[in-house]
Amino acid sequence: MAYRWDTGTFGKITKFYVDLLISAPPTPLVPLVDAVTQRAGISLYMKRDDLIHPEVSGNKWRKLKYALADARKRGFTTLLTFGGARSNHLYATAAAGAQLGMRTIGIVRGEEYSHKDTTTLSFCRAQGMEIFPVSRTEYRQKHQSDYLAEISSRFNNPYIIPEGGSTPWALPGVREMVEETIMQLGEAPDFFAVPAGTGGTAAGILAAQQRVMAFAALKGGDFLSQDILALAEDPEAAKRLTLIADYHFGGYARHTPALLQFMKQFEQKHQILVEQVYTGKMIFGLYDLIGKDYFKRGSTLVAVHTGGMQGRLPNA
């Protein structure tokens, strides 16, 4: 597939804007060596995208970067997006908007949040985001064009970013993470492993022609394959995607003592903190599969730390 990004002046102009506005050095790629990986004979690395920015963290930076540049280039001054009351995407959009001097509006799932703020929502407000809690019924319309048209006129034509920031603009941003990793490793790994919520990150890696294991962070996550492949816009991508839906630990934002125990051991062993909503589940699943000899000896795997550390227990 040809990347829209690679072609035409539009891409070049947008890249120029982006580099001026927000640029980040490559994040570290660190080896994870321990008894499990050694016994299985595999090389495992972690791509530390959690270190990319203190607030616009991990995959949210990658996914937002070119959407923000597009918004700026087309003269928008307001960003509007959607999320739950603990959404890392709302958090990142609020921080990025503040940094770029843009007005931000968050449509939040659940009317009850008009009366109480979560830690995420108070952070968003502190960054200047205007918060509009709506009923779950209204929220469900978030992808419908008539609803979006109404929202657009209600808020005076903002730049609308869908939930999770998973737009086609997410692809070139995630692709940069892939290119950095291949450069650092000196070759492409056999697999990238990522947690999946909306699937935009997994789609970006597929669109960069790499093989992906996506670990669903939510229960019943099998439907995600379809979403991921639709975003990747590459008919061949299905061959490179493995969706793992067994490590949800009870559902989105749920966790178990076993998960927290595993995370603690991992953190102590490798001196890398992870959170329990996304990366903790992915790394648990990955180690479980490595321990069961799921991967051929000699394989090279890159686990992407997608950030979101403000949601780590006990801070959350």
Ligand X SMILES: *Cc1c(COP(=O)(O)O)cnc(C)c1O
- What residue ranges bind ligand X (CB under 6 A)? 58-60, 88-89, 164, 166, 195-201, 278-279, 306-308
Phi, psi dihedral angles at 30 (to 5 degrees): -120, 140
State which residue, 40 or 124, has the beta carbon closest to ligand X.
124
State which residue, 89 or 255, has the beta carbon closest to ligand X.
89
147 three-class SS? helix
Specify the pairing of strand 130-134 against strand 43-48. Answer: unpaired
- Neighbour-count burial of 132, counting CB atoms closer than 10 A to its CB (0-12 exposed, 13-18 middle, 19+ buried): middle
User: C-alpha distances in angstroms, 110 versus 6, 118, 267?
Assistant: 40, 12, 34
State which residue, 189 or 307, has the beta carbon closest to ligand X.
307
Specify the pairing of strand 103-109 against strand 29-31. Answer: unpaired
State which residue, 71 or 214, has the beta carbon closest to ligand X.
214
Q: Rounded to the nearest whole angstrom, what is the least distance from the CB of residue 70 to ligand X in the complex?
A: 18
Instruction: Show Cβ contacts of residue 35 under 8 Å, excluding neighbours closer than 6 positions.
Output: none
- Neighbour-count burial of 235, counting CB atoms closer than 10 A to its CB (0-12 exposed, 13-18 middle, 19+ buried): exposed
Q: Rounded to the nearest whole angstrom, what is the least distance from the CB of residue 216 to ligand X in the complex?
A: 9
> Could you tell me which of 132, 46, 29 has the C-alpha nearest to residue 85?
132
8 A C-beta contact, residue 273 and residue 309:
yes
196 membership: H or E segment, kind and range:
strand 191-196
Greatest alpha-carbon pair distance for the chain in Å reads 59
Q: Rounded to the nearest whole angstrom, what is the least distance from the CB of residue 109 to ligand X in the complex?
A: 15
State which residue, 251 or 298, has the beta carbon closest to ligand X.
251
User: C-alpha distances in angstroms, 217 versus 31, 199, 278, 280, 315?
Assistant: 24, 10, 6, 10, 19
CA distance 60 to 53: 10
State which residue, 14 or 201, has the beta carbon closest to ligand X.
201
CA distance 295 to 199: 23
State which residue, 127 or 279, has the beta carbon closest to ligand X.
279
State which residue, 80 or 232, has the beta carbon closest to ligand X.
232
Tell me the one-letter amino acid at 24. Answer: A
Residues β-bridged to residue 159: 79
CA distance 5 to 18: 13
State which residue, 14 or 166, has the beta carbon closest to ligand X.
166
Q: Which residue is nearest to ligand X (CB)?
A: 308
Q: Rounded to the nearest whole angstrom, what is the least distance from the CB of residue 235 to ligand X in the complex?
A: 21
